[in-house]
Amino acid sequence: MKQIINPPPSKWESLLARPSASYDALEPIVAKVFTAIESRGDTAIREFTEEFDKVKLTDFKVSAESLAAAEDEVSAALKGAIQQAKNNISCFHTAQKTDRVFVETMKGVACWQEKRPIEKVGLYIPGGSAPLFSTLLMLAVPAKIAGCSEIVLCTPPDQKGEIPAVIRYTASLCGISQLYAVGGIQAIAAMTLGTESIPQVYKIFGPGNQYVTVAKQWATRLNVSIDMPAGPSELLVVADDSADPDFIAADLLSQAEHGPDSQVIFVTTVIEMLDKVASAVKAQLEVLPRKAIAEKALANSKMIYFSEEEHAIRYINAYGPEHYIVCVKNEDRYVSGIQNAGSVFIGNYTPESAGDYASGTNHTLPTNGYSKQYSGVNLDSFLKAITFQKISKEGIQTLGKTIELMAAAEGLEAHKNAVRIRLNKIADEN
């Protein structure tokens, strides 16, 4: 990790950059896949699965028998851990339910808001070298709590064309029956367009690599919503000498091992911490099974010293990290000062891994600085807020003149007449 000392704001632009390929460069392949699946459906999915995943599949849907069999294929200890995580995630997201909002804005004019579930949602679970069953929990649990009536789950097949048992078990535990062995761009395209086998959905959730991110953004052109443009994982840790360098190194490496395009940032106001953390990272890296992946991510990562806390906080907000760990004596200042972050972890004993797996918060979060305008996935992500209103005869008489004047001022006579015709009839009745 490169060390930077007291960089002035004029030099921050390069320190805010992520190691992401240009989305423009990826759009041609995304367009090709979407066009092919729109015209040839399942046949195109099979071809792309063979091309990208090196697997020949005839049937994408995972059978009910395969889902049930996963119960005996996963260890009791892991099943217990998954169940505990599911309970915590359910507890936190159930607490996010809100009551109907009702107000009478004036006598005879009632307005209220109610939330309804998005009927059809698609969940994308990355696979590859680390099948993320934890992401399945993060998406399926709130989707179920929200009451989504159709939940479609896509995840890449392994080299044998199968879905790992832990994914199948978690899907079954969450009550998901529509599980398809399809990954990457073709999965997003299938859920966007619908095919002979895979249903079309209204909104797509889930992280992925840069190809998946661009595919999700392409889906929005076709009237399918997405949770957020989530790309490669990232973490920023801010710490002073009250923090344990070994803890910091472990947290940095926990994100670096996600993928070669991940990024981790260490910020400190104690210059001695740079070398201490660097030494701890080097020592822990040597024994990591995913050392080669983490090394590539670390090459894109940075350690930055600021002599002033105010500059450190300004930089952190400019970066807008997906995950933000705060390990400082003056934690209130850093916590209250954060405006842009996906999820915040406070104190020496709150590893980012806790949020990734089992504390209860959601780990599907905005990356690449999108925390400036996006929230992480939550219960409301699976709901729509619908407004209602009801106006009585007395209410329209009180409010009508205001509506007429405003409509006339905008030159919309039909709008004005929709009120005038009612007021005239009321007048005739009297």
To the nearest whole percent, how much of the chain has pLDDT over 70? 99
Superfamily name and number for 23-230+380-384: Nitrogenase molybdenum iron protein domain (3.40.50.1980)
Give me the catalytic one of 258, 311, 323, 363.
323
Q: Shortest CA distance to 226 belongs to which of 417, 43, 370?
A: 370
Dump pLDDT digits (tens) for 31-47: 999 999 999 999 999 99
Give yes or no: 323 in active site. yes
How far is the C-alpha of 307 from the C-alpha of 312, rounded, in Å? 8
Q: Region 2-25: what's the mean pLDDT?
A: 88
| CB of 93 closer than 8 Å to CB of 145 | yes
Nearest residue to 217 (alpha-carbon basis) of 23, 385, 68: 23
Asked if 185 and 30 touch (Cβ cutoff 8 Å), the reply is: yes
Residue 274: which pLDDT band, with cuts at 50, 70 and 90?
Answer: very high
Return the pLDDT at 128.
Answer: 67
| pLDDT score at 20 | 67
* Residues in CB range of 9: below 8 A, 6 or more apart: 311, 314
Question: Which residue in the list 322, 352, 363, 404 is annotated as catalytic?
Answer: 322
Contact 131, 153 (CB under 8 A): no
How far is the C-alpha of 280 from the C-alpha of 327, rounded, in Å? 16
Are 415 and 407 in contact by the 8 Å Cβ rule? The answer is: yes
Q: Among the CATH numbers 3.40.50.1980, 2.40.50.140, 3.20.20.70, 1.10.3720.10, which is that of 2-18+232-360?
A: 3.40.50.1980
pLDDT of residue 308: 95
Could you identify the residue written with the tokens 């994408």? 60
The CA distance from 337 to 325, in Å, is: 13
Residue 24 has pLDDT above 90, yes or no: no
**Residue 232 binned pLDDT confidence (cut-offs 50, 70, 90):** confident
Task: Answer yes or no: is pLDDT of 130 > 80.
Answer: no
Classify 392-429 by CATH class: mainly alpha
In this predicted structure, the answer to whether residue 402 has a pLDDT above a threshold of 90 is yes
Q: Is the pLDDT of residue 412 over 90?
A: yes
CA distance 237 to 109: 51
When pLDDT is averaged across residues 222-250 and rounded to a whole number, the result is: 94
Using a pLDDT cut of 90, give the percent of the chain over it: 90
Residue 108 CA to residue 394 CA, distance in Å, equals 6
pLDDT at 131 over 90: no
Lowest mean pLDDT among 124-133, 356-365, 390-399, 420-429: 124-133
Residues 129-145 have a mean pLDDT of 93
pLDDT for 321-349, tens place per residue?
Answer: 999 999 999 999 999 999 999 999 999 99
Nearest to 239 by CA among 334, 369, 355: 334
pTM score of the predicted model: 0.93
**Of the ranges 92-101, 192-201, 227-236, 396-405, which one carries the lowest mean pLDDT score?**
227-236
Q: Which of 56-60, 252-256, 358-362, 376-380 has the lowest mean pLDDT?
A: 56-60
* pLDDT at residue 21 greater than cutoff 80: no
Helix (H, G, I), strand (E, B) or coil at 385: strand
d(CA 172, CA 231): 27
Domain boundaries for CATH 3.40.50.1980 within the chain: 2-18+232-360, 23-230+380-384
Which ranges in the chain are annotated with CATH 1.20.5.1300? Answer: 392-429
More confident residue, 209 or 288: 288
Average pLDDT, integer, range 62-81: 97
The rounded distance, in Å, linking the Cα atoms of 164 and 131 is: 7
- Per-residue confidence (pLDDT) for residue 230, from 0 to 100: 74
Instruction: Return the C-alpha torsion angle 158, 159, 165, 170, nearest 10.
Output: 0
User: Which helix or strand (DSSP H or E) is residue 154 part of?
Assistant: strand 150-155
Q: Is the distance from CB of 268 to CB of 241 less than 8 angstroms?
A: no
- Using DSSP bridges, classify how beta strands 101-106 and 109-117 pair: parallel, antiparallel or unpaired: antiparallel
What CA–CA distance (Å, rounded) separates 191 from 227? Answer: 14
Mean pLDDT for the chain overall: 95
Q: For this structure, is 162 an active site residue?
A: no
Task: Say how many C-beta atoms besides its own lie within 10 A of residue 194's C-beta.
Answer: 17
pLDDT digits (tens, 9 = 90+) for 178-218: 999 999 999 999 999 999 999 999 999 998 888 998 999 99
